Amino acid sequence: MTSEEAKKRLCLALDVDRLSDAVRLVETLRDRVTLFKIGFQLFTKEGPGAVQAVQSLGGRVFLDLKYHDIPNTVAAAAREAVNMGVYMFNVHASGGSDMMRAAVEAAASQSQKSNTTMPVILAVTVLTSLNDRILTDELNINNQLAHQVTHLAALAKGCGLDGVVASPQEITAIRERCGHGFTILTPGIRPPWIKNIKDKDEDDQKRTATPSQAIRLGADYIVVGRPILKADDPAEAADNIVRDMTSGC
């Protein structure tokens, strides 16, 4: 993998409070990162204007709102995601097959109607903050975490979704179950130099890997937030992550 290819597969999580901070990060890093994740924090504060701001600076947007509701509600949200022109958005696979199909059908219909490119639609399998104990003791799901992830991935594929959001630890199992044409976006990325990042003790990710490990395992995209956002030099941190990604091939 070349560094240019790695840059296209690195997604920066814009987990900041203010649009001005997000804009500053995109302006600083757009030569190093092409895909930017907008999640609950920034979208709740700034709304669709955050999407428009990133796009105006040449960035692609992964709208990480994890839609999880009745099928009609999710279908309506999917249409609006298309109208915003996002590159990618996601839903919770645990919303079930009817909900996931509704999202795909609504997005496809709206894309055709507006003559725009169909967004990549991913399903969230099991959050990277969860582990086997939480899955069993708190959520009462009597299935090993890895099996639950692959089950939900296969369900999403059967509903026509493009891929899943899953931790690095489940990439191999998903590939075996869903094949190589199925997109895997991987959060929980922690570079080898993470000890230099502030607030490491507050890290709530439980199933993690380094950038090179995730790429070697077969991730199509990796999502990185705090290791770049909290670095003394975010540009240098992004460069180091790109280098680590290329070493994974």
Q: Determine the Cα–Cα distance for residues 77 and 109; give it in Å rounded to an integer.
A: 13
Burial class (CB in 10 A: 0-12, 13-18, 19+), 38: buried
Three-state DSSP class for residue 165:
strand
| 232 among annotated binding-site residues | no
| 15 among annotated binding-site residues | yes
- CB atoms near residue 45 (< 10 Å): 14
- Two structure tokens written together for 8: 């296209």
Count of residues for the chain?
A: 249
| 169 among annotated binding-site residues | no
| 68 among annotated binding-site residues | yes
| 190 among annotated binding-site residues | yes
Cβ–Cβ under 8 Å, residues 191 and 240: yes
| 162 among annotated binding-site residues | no
Report CA dihedral (225, 226, 227, 232) to the nearest 10 degrees: 120
| 71 among annotated binding-site residues | yes
| 119 among annotated binding-site residues | no
| 32 among annotated binding-site residues | no
| 67 among annotated binding-site residues | yes
DSSP 8-state code for residue 232: S
Let me know if 230 is a catalytic residue.
Answer: no
| 66 among annotated binding-site residues | yes
| 73 among annotated binding-site residues | yes
Outline where the chain has alpha helix (H).
3-9, 19-29, 40-46, 48-56, 71-84, 97-114, 132-133, 145-158, 171-178, 211-217, 226-229, 234-246
Q: Which of 8, 45, 66, 230 is catalytic?
A: 66
Binding annotation for substrate:
15, 37, 64-73, 128, 190, 205, 225-226
Residues that constitute the known binding site: 15, 37, 64-73, 128, 190, 205, 225-226
- Which residues are catalytic, by number? 66
